[in-house]
Structure 1
Amino acid sequence: MAKNARNAPRLFLWLIVLVLVVATGVTLWRTGAFRAPPSIALVPADNTPYWEDAILGARHAAERYNAVLTVHKVGGDEQTQSSILRDLAAERVSGIAVSPLHANRQALLLREIGLKIPVVTLDSDSPLSGRMCFVGADNYTAGRQCGELVREALPEGGSVVIAVGSMDKANGQLRRQGVIDELLERSFGPGRPVEPMNVILQGPGHTVTATLVDDTNPAQAKANIAALLASGDPPDCIVGLYSYNGPAAVEALTEAGAIDDVVVIGFDYTDATLAAIEAGHIYASMAQDPYNYGYHAVRLLAEEARGKGHAILPMNGIIDIRCFPINADNIENFRAKIVKRRSGPVEG
């Protein structure tokens, strides 16, 4: 009896140790410490320089949230992108972040994949796909912001041509409609039907005379502008809605000797766009934040793989990362921010 009494504290101590070991093991399992890192696939829309910062942000998020990231680039071809998505679904990756090339045609495929694997759209949405979340700008609002820049540059009005990479993608549709609605001084209407392509749209002061679509081909974008200038009726302003449209317009205008005759509004912040702003050839550019598109898409998918994603998911399923204008007044500060961001992981 005395011996059992002496052993009781020791047994109690071992019981405490056992409970602590089990509790620690359960905690580590729940946090994913004993599991393989989640595998996240990023599928951009094309190979243009715009995506470089999105990929960088995705890589930084993968490092921070202990995920394995693979990047699957496509050349702007919908069938190729859909094939890659099917292959990734078959591999059962932990999550897919994709910029769909066609919002409606790919919706069913994305919905089917989403029943098995979390899918996040970034940059361009596919609302009918049932995706877990969209990470990106409100593209309609971004278009209206571009329209505001046109009105600022041409306060007395004038003719405007819109250049856009795709009218199949939701981002191209919404940006264009936003520009049109702003210039025609309409009420805010993100659900307004897409304006026909082959009509001249007359507003109180500004007239949208044409929309040039280049199928996300920078060379074609330049050729479209060159053909427009060769017709002998240059517009007062060209609004480029994809990252390469502004620089393509500058090249075509320079070669035609008309660089000082037409106002150019750009989109995003490629090196060529920033150089053109500094040279005074692009009035301003409406910049997205692709770094944070990639960062937050991967962050969300990595957390979802560990059972935490829906806890941080916005109620409306959209992480809205706002656009902002870059012009001659703020370009120096913007360049400093980009240099800092590219030097290492920086959220926000």
Structure 2
Amino acid sequence: MKRFFCFTLLMLSAVIVGCDSGDDNSSNAAPEIPDDTGSNVVGTPTVAYVTNGIASFWDIAEAGAQQAGKDLKVDVQVHMPVDGVQDQKRMLEDLITQQVDGVAVSPIDSDNQIDLLNLVADATTLITHDSDAADSNRELYIGMSNYDAGWMCGELIEEATADVADQVSIMIFVGRLEQVNARQRRQGLIDYLMKREKDDQRYDKPGQVIENDRFSILGTRTDDFDANKCKSYVEDTLTAYPDITCMVGLFAYNPPQILEALTSADKLNEVHVIGFDEDAQTLQAIVDGTCYGTVVQNPYQYGYQSVKVLAEHATGVKDISDHEDFIDIPARKIMNNNVQEFWDELKKLTGENDADAGSDSAE
């Protein structure tokens, strides 16, 4: 791991000058991680977990990250940017200055953050989670195949609309398409519905209708992580396409905004809703039958495994090069037949009670 050694060398010099050869414990330096770990880290390691925004999804990931910190006895900083890519940039620059022992980040705009990410990688151990930056000098990626998850979302759309006689019209809602994960989810969904061969390098640019005899994808509305803007776009869609068949939300906060707008328009049971992630409102809608299903990741494990990998490397337990380049935590479909079991397990992991479960996220 790349680290800054000046302070450590100064403290070591003090020990050599001030101690007899037989007195190993007379130094005032901070206690070290035991020698059997092979680590040079002084004191308790600190690792940082950086998200791409604020959402209930990231609250779950934070719970996993903090639990890993307790289990592995490392300090964990969780940073959630409020103001998009510039806020995330500031956070990463601050972490370079702090000389933390590792950083896990979900890049907001990986194509335009390569130089910044490489600066982080030069200063400490860098991994990505949730959304990758494969062209950077990050060590590995923890997450899922977002393309495959989008493909699964397409399967849910097809199942939900199986009884619709006419061509199925669809609008996609997502925070931003600069993120690799958003682009790949959208593309997987499109490719499945268009009955194409799988190709995670394909990209249909937004701004055009994509259709075949069965499905018509009217467009993709991006809200830049603004829940109110998402809801407004849903309302605009209902005005422009009053007979729309299906709406899909690809970020955690999108499905709840779709559901709220449909409720206000008295169209909750007329438009098929497909979600992504495990926001409490989305899960409750699946229980109630107003959302057909959602594709979930495992944000708890994103947080836990990110901290675990960084902590084990920082303490010498397991070198990061011993891991695969991609630690796969697969997505799965949640529908009426498995939603309650899934939700109960989620509450156990996060320490959430039933009263908390229905509350809105920080979105």
Same fold (TM over 0.5): yes
The one-letter code sitting in structure 2 at the alignment partner of 1:163 is F
The one-letter code sitting in structure 1 at the alignment partner of 2:246 is C
Following superposition, the deviation at residue 112 of structure 1 comes to 2.0
Distance 1:111 1:326 in 2: 37
Q: Deviations over 1:155-177 (max 9, x none)?
A: 25511111111101111100001
Distance 1:223 1:309 in 2: 48
Are residues 255 and 121 of structure 1, via their aligned partners in 2, closer, same or farther at CA, if it must alter by over 3 Å? same
Following superposition, the deviation at residue 234 of structure 1 comes to 3.7
Distance 1:283 1:267 in 2: 11
The one-letter code sitting in structure 2 at the alignment partner of 1:47 is I
Aligned to 2:192: 182
Following superposition, the deviation at residue 76 of structure 1 comes to 4.3
Q: 2:199 is paired with a residue of what secondary structure?
A: coil
Alignment of 1:24-39 (within 5 A): 28-31=34-37, 32=39, 35-39=42-46
Q: Given that residues 33 and 315 in structure 2 are in contact (C-alpha distance below 8 angstroms), is that contact kept between their aligned partners in structure 1?
A: no
For structure 1, list consecutive stretches of 5 or more residues without a partner in the other structure.
1-17, 19-25
- Superposed structure 1 runs of 4+ greater than 3 Å apart: 32-35
Alignment of 1:93-172 (within 5 A): 93-155=100-162, 157-172=167-182
Aligned to 1:68: 75
Q: 1:242 is paired with a residue of what secondary structure?
A: coil
The one-letter code sitting in structure 2 at the alignment partner of 1:301 is L
Q: Given that residues 33 and 44 in structure 2 are in contact (C-alpha distance below 8 angstroms), is that contact kept between their aligned partners in structure 1?
A: no
Q: Which shows bigger deviation, 177-186 or 39-48?
A: 39-48
Following superposition, the deviation at residue 233 of structure 1 comes to 3.3
Q: Given that residues 161 and 237 in structure 1 are in contact (C-alpha distance below 8 angstroms), is that contact kept between their aligned partners in structure 2?
A: yes
Q: Given that residues 76 and 216 in structure 1 are in contact (C-alpha distance below 8 angstroms), is that contact kept between their aligned partners in structure 2?
A: no
Alignment of 1:4-23 (within 5 A): none
Q: Given that residues 139 and 175 in structure 1 are in contact (C-alpha distance below 8 angstroms), is that contact kept between their aligned partners in structure 2?
A: yes
Q: Deviations over 1:3-51 (max 9, x none)?
A: xxxxxxxxxxxxxxx9xxxxxxx99313259841211011111111110
Aligned to 2:17: none
Q: 1:209 is paired with a residue of what secondary structure?
A: strand
The one-letter code sitting in structure 2 at the alignment partner of 1:338 is L
Following superposition, the deviation at residue 189 of structure 1 comes to 0.4
Are residues 38 and 234 of structure 1, via their aligned partners in 2, closer, same or farther at CA, if it must alter by over 3 Å? farther
Aligned residues: 319
For structure 2, list consecutive stretches of 5 or more residues without a partner in the other structure.
1-21, 23-31, 353-363
Q: CA RMSD in A?
A: 2.1
Distance 2:59 2:33 in 1: 37
Q: Which shows bigger deviation, 256-265 or 31-40?
A: 31-40
Q: Deviations over 1:212-259 (max 9, x none)?
A: 111111111111000111224342111110011111111111111111
Are residues 233 and 118 of structure 1, via their aligned partners in 2, closer, same or farther at CA, if it must alter by over 3 Å? same
% identity of equivalent residues: 33
Aligned to 1:281: 290
Distance 1:278 1:149 in 2: 16
Q: Give the TM-score, by structure 2 length.
A: 0.84
Q: 1:145 is paired with a residue of what secondary structure?
A: helix
Following superposition, the deviation at residue 309 of structure 1 comes to 2.8
Q: 2:111 is paired with a residue of what secondary structure?
A: coil
